Amino acid sequence: MTAKALPGFRDFPPHDLALRAYIFAAWRRVATRYGFEEYDGPPLEPLDLYTSKSGDEIVGQLYNFVDKGDRPVALRPEMTPTLARMVAERANGLKKPIRWFSIPQLFRYERQQRGRLREHFQLNCDLIGEAGALADAEIIALAIDVMREFGLGAKDIRVRVSDRRALTALLQARGVTADGMYAAYQFIDKLERMSPADLERHRTTPQPYAPATADDLIAVAGLRGLSQVESAVAMLPDGAAAVAPLTETLAALDAMGLSDWIEIDFTIVRGLAYYTGTVFELFDAGKTLRAICGGGRYDTLLQSLGGVDLPALGFGMGDVVLGELLKDRGLRPEPPSAIDCFVAAVTPEDQPHVLRIAHQLRDAGIRVEYAFGQTAVGKQLKIADARGARLAVVVGPDDRATGTAQLKDLQGSTQEAVAIDALAARCHELLAG
RNA sequence: GUGCUUGUAGCUCAAUUGGUUAGAGCGCCGGAUUGUGGUUCCGGAGGUUGCGGGUUCAAUCCCCGUCAGGCACCCCA
């Protein structure tokens, strides 16, 4: 066997597809519970959908090529530009706020690591057309409820929340100019994984965020909890306005009973330039894995991308890290049984009756298998068990003589003679019970 | 793209300082069982030790290259 899957790409044999299907089903349950409607778009897009906004730099992380019509194209690395286009084209006719979600397969060309492949599926939930803080709370609550749907609790997951409006106000007060703001964000974003040598370099060489110093930024990033943030902002001229959205978002989450999940943490800024307000990330409590989910408010992106001026926010949650977490925690569900009922023949003469019964049961919506070759009844029941069948039907000469078959409940180890015409109905009864 | 590290059966792992035919558990297939499953017992298949080269009388083991996984950078949609 020479042709393996490409690095960073996955095969999904049934056992693995079962986990993926389980994750997708939970995602859809929670998203629809919040009134979100599912959409999708093309996996292949024009290259400039991604380069026009982010610059040519990101081409290095894209799966891109020129198609047979000489069009530069790329496999989508994210869903937001596609979403922006779809919303922009229809914005006038859509009732606001728009609640849309999608489960796209996304691609990025970069070296893989645990929890990070070249391809993954990502739940994207976006709420468009609402600027108020209740929308921020709604999106964060949705992300939390997805965790709860998988059986994870506030002790398992940390939701780290920050707000760029408050962060920006504090950084400005320390002397960071508008030009230096993005550099300051990047410094704070990298703070947690920065080596002492790198930190020293930031202290001793001129930085774009001057006159603020590295230690100024560390002090701001070190703020934890709403009270610390509020008192830090209190002395600023526009301080109250800068923290108001964050305060209101937290109050709403508290009213929902979700405040146990939340940590105010100003080291969270997110790498992307386009976030304008609330930003948040979900981690496993032990922080052994990468971020499970990340999102935030991007009020100006639709304007710059699609020409429609609508506030928006959303998050993305990938299936890879989440899958690792569920496996680590023993929350991976048992794969569902393949069949409901196995039909066994006692003698070769019974085979036509097995086929007739099996087909009759399948017509009734029951998942059925039978053996292709003649083997001992015990052997056939062993197969039934291995396939996860709840029921087994055994047909032999004695049964045929009376127009019945033996119906076994493999779970309860009970058996009864049932008229062949009544089998389907009786199977449904037992399966429902 | 850079650095470090690992690579033995489908899976998890063994194999004296380099030494004869590379083993075990689980799983898979078959049998014990010709009208009744889960347990148990017996048997079987499955390996170019990731791949290629080098050193050596001899390489799973040492060296080089390459591919793949893991970790850290880069980046983080």
Whole-number Å distance between alpha carbons of A47 and A65: 9
In total, chain A counts a number of residues equal to 433
Residue A5 CA neighbour count, 13 Å, CB half: 10
A377: the nucleotide nearest its CA (via C1') is B36
What is the per-residue pLDDT across A380-433, written as a single tens digit (0 to 9) for each? 999 999 898 999 999 999 999 999 999 999 988 889 999 999 999 999 999 997
In the numeric block, which tokens belong to residue A220?
Answer: 């701001």
* Ramachandran quadrant class, A419 (left: phi over 0; alpha: psi -120 to 50; beta: rest): beta
Stronger pLDDT, A60 or A230, i.e. the higher one: A230
* CB A2 within 7 Å, strand B: no
* CB A124 within 7 Å, strand B: no
pLDDT for the residue numbered A59: 72
Q: Judging by DSSP bridges, how do beta strands A368-370 and A341-345 pair with one another? A: parallel
Domains and CATH numbers, chain A: 14-328 (3.30.930.10), 341-432 (3.40.50.800)
Judged on CB neighbours under 10 Å (0-12, 13-18, 19+), A387 is: middle
pLDDT for the residue numbered A392: 96
Determine the distance from the C-alpha atom of residue A297 to the mean position of all C-alpha atoms in its chain, rounded to a whole number: 18
Backbone Cα Rg of chain A = 29
What is the per-residue pLDDT across A188-224, written as a single tens digit (0 to 9) for each? 988 888 877 788 888 888 888 888 888 999 999 999 9
* CB A108 within 7 Å, strand B: yes
- The pLDDT of residue A3 is above 70: no
pLDDT for the residue numbered A55: 57
pLDDT for the residue numbered A206: 83
| Amino acid identity at A352 | P
- The pLDDT of residue A232 is above 80: yes
Span A133-155, average pLDDT: 96
Residues in Cβ contact with A358 at an 8 Å cutoff, skipping those fewer than 6 apart? A343, A368, A369, A370
Distance between the alpha carbon (CA) of A1 and the C1' atom of B60, Å: 22
Instruction: State the DSSP H helix or E strand holding residue A35, giving kind and residue range, or none if neither.
Output: none
Stronger pLDDT, A205 or A300, i.e. the higher one: A300
pLDDT for the residue numbered A2: 52
Sign of the torsion formed by the C-alpha atoms of A379, A381, A387 and A388:
negative
Q: Residue A68 — pLDDT band, cuts 50, 70, 90?
A: very high
Among A80, A22, A11, A4, which Cα is nearest to A319's?
A22
pLDDT for the residue numbered A15: 87
What is the per-residue pLDDT across A83-137, written as a single tens digit (0 to 9) for each? 999 999 999 999 999 999 999 999 999 888 888 899 999 999 999 999 999 999 9
Among A269, A226, A234, A270, which Cα is nearest to A250's?
A226
Instruction: State the DSSP H helix or E strand holding residue A187, giving kind and residue range, or none if neither.
Output: helix A181-190
Lowest mean pLDDT among A52-61, A84-93, A181-190, A342-351: A52-61
* CB A116 within 7 Å, strand B: yes
Whether the ω angle into residue A97 lies within 30 degrees of 0, i.e. cis, is: yes
Residues in Cβ contact with A153 at an 8 Å cutoff, skipping those fewer than 6 apart? A147
Rounded to a whole number of angstroms, the distance between the first and last alpha carbons of chain A is 46
* CB A107 within 7 Å, strand B: yes
Among A357, A312, A303, which Cα is nearest to A136's?
A312
Q: Which nucleotides of B are covered by protein (CB under 7 A)?
A: 1-2, 28, 31-38, 67-77
Mean pLDDT of chain A: 91
What is the per-residue pLDDT across A269-297, written as a single tens digit (0 to 9) for each? 887 778 899 999 999 988 888 899 999 99
pLDDT for the residue numbered A331: 87
User: By percentage, how much of chain A surpasses pLDDT 70?
Assistant: 98
* Angle, vertex CA A11, rays to CA A123 and CA A121, nearest 5: 10
- The pLDDT of residue A365 is above 50: yes
Distance between the alpha carbon (CA) of A110 and the C1' atom of B1, Å: 9
* CB A327 within 7 Å, strand B: no
Distance between the alpha carbon (CA) of A264 and the C1' atom of B51, Å: 51
Instruction: State the DSSP H helix or E strand holding residue A314, giving kind and residue range, or none if neither.
Output: strand A312-318
User: By percentage, how much of chain A surpasses pLDDT 90?
Assistant: 67
* Contact assessment for residue A293 and residue A282, using Cβ atoms and an 8 Å cutoff: yes
A290: the nucleotide nearest its CA (via C1') is B76
Q: Residue A57 — pLDDT band, cuts 50, 70, 90?
A: low
A346: the nucleotide nearest its CA (via C1') is B35
pLDDT for the residue numbered A1: 41
Distance between the alpha carbon (CA) of A384 and the C1' atom of B8, Å: 36
Instruction: State the DSSP H helix or E strand holding residue A18, giving kind and residue range, or none if neither.
Output: helix A14-33
Please name every residue paired with A46 in a beta bridge, in sequence order, or none if there are none: A73
Whole-number Å distance between alpha carbons of A115 and A265: 23
Whole-number Å distance between alpha carbons of A216 and A160: 21
Distance between the alpha carbon (CA) of A383 and the C1' atom of B27, Å: 15
* CB A32 within 7 Å, strand B: no
Distance between the alpha carbon (CA) of A375 and the C1' atom of B58, Å: 52
Whether the ω angle into residue A211 lies within 30 degrees of 0, i.e. cis, is: yes
pLDDT for the residue numbered A193: 81
Determine the distance from the C-alpha atom of residue A229 to the mean position of all C-alpha atoms in its chain, rounded to a whole number: 30
pLDDT for the residue numbered A22: 94
Whole-number Å distance between alpha carbons of A424 and A339: 14
A395-to-A366, A387, A420 alpha-carbon distances in Å: 18, 19, 10
Whole-number Å distance between alpha carbons of A298 and A293: 16
* Contact assessment for residue A312 and residue A129, using Cβ atoms and an 8 Å cutoff: yes
Whole-number Å distance between alpha carbons of A387 and A371: 12
A324: the nucleotide nearest its CA (via C1') is B70
